[in-house]
Structure 1
């Protein structure tokens, strides 16, 4: 399948789990489609890029290791994504990657994710925290930063400062998650 054919197929992706799962499985079963999917995802001003993000998120949920050969491309370009419908899945994929690092179960992400990838994820998560993003990307970023702050000593103080500063201006969902994270940091 060419990039153009995949692009056209993505027109059929909608918010239903069935469609997202169908196309995620298509990519899992045809890993050669992943570079094209990423190329479409990073066509950041095109609405179809959001659908590529949804498919990539579902694929990563099912088979996170599939993104390993593409970590450089993903982490180098993820900050360009700006449409709300694509930002949420990108933040979720970052959370999947970070959770994999800290998983008690040994996995390939733990050795594949390099310090440069982690630095890019940290930067993106802090951008999501300080920018005017919706609650979901902020929540995923909070969690990622909390986990990464276990090993990177400067993250927790910065995260707590942002959470406390923004607390009163945010939604009840943000407040609930922020309270939880602050409590865990201060333990």
Structure 2
């Protein structure tokens, strides 16, 4: 399938779980579609980028290691994305990625990649984002908390600062992370 054919296919799906899963399974069966999906997300067309992210989300939740060959492109997409729904999906992918790096080392992130993830996740945590994005971001930061000495106190400060005026979901995850810090 060409990139144009992939774009046409992505454009046709709805937000229904069955259609997102079908797209995700196509990515699982042909991981080169990850590159196509990342390019579509990078173009920032709200419908196409969101649909491409839906498929990517399904595939990466099942096998985050598929992202290895496309890590550079993924990190570029993190810096350029401005679509809220896509941010939630990318933040979840960051959590999966950092977990794979720290828990079972199935994805090795170099220092620069770790720093890029930390920077983007702190941006999400500090800025006015949906709670799911913040929750995935704080977990991703925690997963990489030991790479630099400044991360632990900064994460602690951000979670403490936002705790009082946040949602139950934020407080639940923040409480767990604060207890671990």
In structure 2, relative to structure 1, the CA distance for the partners of 1:80 and 1:152 (3 Å cut) is same
Question: 1:54-133 to 2 correspondence within 5 Å?
Answer: 54-103=54-103, 105-107=104-106, 109-110=107-108, 113-133=109-129
More displaced, 86-95 or 113-122? 113-122
Write the distance in 1 (CA, Å) between the matches of 2:131 and 2:105. 31
Write the distance in 1 (CA, Å) between the matches of 2:129 and 2:160. 17
Write the distance in 2 (CA, Å) between the matches of 1:89 and 1:46. 14
Instruction: Check whether the contact 1:98–1:144 (CA below 8 A) recurs between aligned residues.
Output: yes
Instruction: Check whether the contact 2:41–2:77 (CA below 8 A) recurs between aligned residues.
Output: no
**TM-score normalised by the chain length of structure 1:** 0.89
**TM-score normalised by the chain length of structure 2:** 0.92
Deviation at 1:70, TM superposition (A): 0.8
SS at match of 1:149: coil
Instruction: Check whether the contact 1:37–1:56 (CA below 8 A) recurs between aligned residues.
Output: yes
Instruction: Check whether the contact 1:12–1:19 (CA below 8 A) recurs between aligned residues.
Output: no
Instruction: Check whether the contact 1:146–1:181 (CA below 8 A) recurs between aligned residues.
Output: yes
Cα displacement string for residues 81-115 of structure 1 (whole angstroms, at most 9, x for unaligned residues): 11111000000010011000122x452x13xx221
Deviation at 1:27, TM superposition (A): 1.6
Deviation at 1:30, TM superposition (A): 1.9
Deviation at 1:12, TM superposition (A): 3.2
In structure 2, relative to structure 1, the CA distance for the partners of 1:23 and 1:165 (3 Å cut) is same
Which of the numbers 137, 140, 146 marks the counterpart of 1:141?
137
Write the distance in 2 (CA, Å) between the matches of 1:153 and 1:48. 40
Cα displacement string for residues 97-150 of structure 1 (whole angstroms, at most 9, x for unaligned residues): 1000122x452x13xx22111111000100000111000010011111112113
**1:47 and 2:43 correspond:** no
Q: Which 5+ residue runs of structure 2 have no aligned equivalent? A: none
Instruction: Check whether the contact 2:42–2:81 (CA below 8 A) recurs between aligned residues.
Output: yes
Aligned-residue Cα RMSD (Å) equals 1.5
